[in-house]
């Protein structure tokens, strides 16, 4: 059974509105439709294992202080950008929600060892034919 996806409540994030970048005509210069979301990982209510895996990610959205920063400006309305930023944060959290499976070392089978050695022998014979031609007498 799969674990429930992680959801962050809105009181744990800091959301500020700002003007969006890029072309957009007169409207973009006077309407604050873009959203800047900040989520402090250390101060959150996430389980400790999830916090550790999240902070260990090499993601440019996570600052050195352990704050996830997401900027959403895809939509024209602030509400849609707010929902988009929260969805992207939850998607990021769900990538580290499940701990990775521990790899256990196994021995190669006898058959796989024989196939490997046979392939090496064939490759050696092929390369031996590329050498200098010797007189057969």
**Is 3 part of any domain?**
no
Range of the domain at 28: 10-95
CATH number of the domain bearing residue 81 = 3.30.160.20
Instruction: Count Cβ atoms within 10 A of the Cβ of residue 84 and give its class: 0-12 exposed, 13-18 middle, 19 or more buried.
Output: middle
How many folded domains does the chain comprise? 1
Of the segments 29-33, 49-53, 67-71, which one has the largest average pLDDT value?
67-71
Find out whether 50 and 57 touch, Cβ atoms under 8 Å: no
Q: What is the pLDDT of residues 75-113, one digit of tens each?
A: 888 899 999 999 999 899 888 888 889 999 999 999 999
**Is 117 part of any domain?**
no
Report CA-CA distances (Å) from 88 to 47, 119, 127.
19, 47, 53
């Amino acid at each position: 059974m799969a674990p429930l996806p992680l959801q962050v409540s809105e009181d744990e994030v800091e959301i500020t509105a700002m003007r969006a970048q890029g072309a957009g005509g007169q409207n973009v210069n006077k309407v604050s439709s873009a959203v800047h979301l900040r989520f402090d990982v250390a101060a959150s209510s996430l389980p400790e294992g999830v916090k550790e895996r999240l902070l260990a990610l090499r993601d440019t959205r996570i600052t050195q202080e352990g704050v996830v920063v997401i900027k959403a400006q895809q939509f024209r309305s602030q509400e849609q950008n707010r929902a988009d930023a929260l969805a992207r944060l939850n998607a990021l959290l769900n990538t580290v929600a499940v701990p990775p499976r521990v790899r256990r070392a196994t021995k190669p089978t006898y058959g796989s060892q024989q196939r490997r050695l046979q392939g090496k022998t064939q490759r050696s014979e092929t390369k031996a034919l590329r050498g200098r031609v010797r007189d057969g007498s």
